[in-house]
Amino acid sequence: MKSDTTKGLALPPFSSSHLKYLSLSLSLPHPLCWREMASYQQWTLFVSLLCLVSATMGAPPRKPISVPFGRNYQPTWAFDHIKYFNGGNEIQLHLDKYTGTGFQSKGNYLFGHFHMQIKLVPGDSAGTVTAYYLSSQNAEHDEIDFEFLGNRTGQPYILQTNVFTGGKGDREQRIFLWFDPTAAYHSYSVLWNLYQIVFFVDDIPIRVFKNSKDLGVKFPFNQPMKLYSSLWNADDWATRGGLEKTDWSKAPFIATYKGFHIDGCEASVEAKFCATQGQRWWDQKEFQDLDANQWRRLKWVRQKFTIYNYCTDRVRYPTLPPECKRDRDI
């Protein structure tokens, strides 16, 4: 994986006791305390680092725990096109000219952290789509999408994300990935709470969708969702708008999965709130926003790899969608 090219100082690991000491030190009014620093420049850097750490309220998601497929998921269609390996710790989805296949979570979830490791279809994958997403089952549809759009051999995959709220979607963003997603497993995850939805690739945020209900934008908060994944043929639109068709001589197309991590508030389809609201790690204050480093990494993705963003599409949206400014998409 290519490293983050954003330049910046590497911060040391400050403990809570360090921060308490730094805060007390800053409260000292007399300049004699400055003599403990080697120079005024060091002091300035010291204070700057403290301000940066103090201003940062976000935190990275907790490390996911890998489990067998059957712990959290079950097949949904074309069962014979799902292959199991290593005691169910890895699976393959197969697509041929007869059918694709897919699976879904056993439970419904209202907020949480959802993580999957995927190795995408290698070689000529034009016309295929590998999808990993959350979706509600009620009338006013909510959905949080990862869609990997296949391409001709040698051309990069496109990762499309989308968010549906209250039945409204059309919030597509598309990026190229900074690595070959077919050569090895990479992590794709969603952190969803009452304040934001964050899409991560290998723990790097690639998109954030903030709760903007106060701006008149609906936010998924009261409809539990299942997780789904599928591999299917979409050569009417997936690659170059449908110009590139699936080459069935290359079948079967195979996507491989492991991890199957779910840490969410499990709820019935009819539930309107999470019974453990405010008690889970992903529901705490530090996950209400990205931290400074995460915002820098997101900016890096947007500047280097974004190929489409609905927020900047003035043909489709002559008026800027209200959530875009809060999401820092402009």
For the stretch 226-241, pLDDT in tens is 999 999 999 999 999 9
| Structural domain contains residue 44 | no
| Structural domain contains residue 174 | yes
Name the helix (H) or strand (E) containing 48.
helix 40-55
> Is position 143 annotated as part of the catalytic site?
yes
pLDDT of residue 139: 78
| Structural domain contains residue 34 | no
pTM above 0.85, yes or no: no
Exactly one of 36, 90, 140, 143 is catalytic; name it: 143
| Structural domain contains residue 196 | yes
pLDDT of residue 192: 97
| Structural domain contains residue 117 | yes
> Is position 286 annotated as part of the catalytic site?
no
- What's the total number of domains in the chain? 1
User: What residues make up the domain containing 275?
Assistant: 69-327
- What letter does residue 235 receive in the DSSP assignment? T
| Structural domain contains residue 62 | no
Whether the Cβ atoms of residue 294 and residue 301 lie closer than 8 Å to each other: no
Exactly one of 36, 140, 147, 244 is catalytic; name it: 147
| Structural domain contains residue 29 | no
What separation, in Å, do the N-terminal and C-terminal C-alpha atoms of the chain show?
A: 27
pLDDT of residue 57: 60
CATH of the domain at 306: 2.60.120.200
Give 212's contacts (C-beta < 8 A, 6+ positions apart): 219, 322, 323, 326
| Structural domain contains residue 311 | yes
> Is 265 exposed, middle or buried (CB count within 10 Å of its CB: 0-12, 13-18, 19+)?
buried
118: β partners: 186, 257
Instruction: Collect the ranges in the chain with pLDDT lower than 50.
Output: 1-41, 43-56
Rounded Cα distance between 123 and 249, Å, is 12
